[in-house]
Structure 1
Amino acid sequence: MNANELRDKTPDQLREELVNLKKEGFNLRFQQATGQLENTSGIKAARRNAARVKTILNQKAAAAASEE
């Protein structure tokens, strides 16, 4: 996931993407706890992607607030 791709999305699309990433992170943590997770780097990637989406959302909110 690229930050430039995220900047093209609307805030609603970004919130939906964030929900999906949080669900993915939960599922990966659950798999790790039960011993079914094979690729442990997926947890780190999901967490970073969620942080990336949150950053873009905050930037869009700050830009909207400064325009008013």
Structure 2
Amino acid sequence: MDDETVHLEGDIPQGLFEEMQNKFPASAEGGKRNLLRAVIDDWQRMKKLEIARATGEFPRESEISRE
């Protein structure tokens, strides 16, 4: 993970928020910040799988695009 952080503020649709709470219930109990972290971690795992499927190898952390 990059050593710099970004503070986010904003709104998302209630339905999407509830969907994230249902997908990551333990993180949701810890608050919105933990829930966002769980969603980002899941996204990073999906990117690794996408790269692995395309190349046949799991990427190192530095090889994952943060698009």
TM-score (norm: length of structure 2):
0.43
The structure, 1 or 2, with the larger RCO (C-alpha pairs under 8 Å, 6+ apart) is 1
Higher fraction of helix:
1
Please report the TM-score for the alignment, with normalisation by the length of structure 1: 0.42
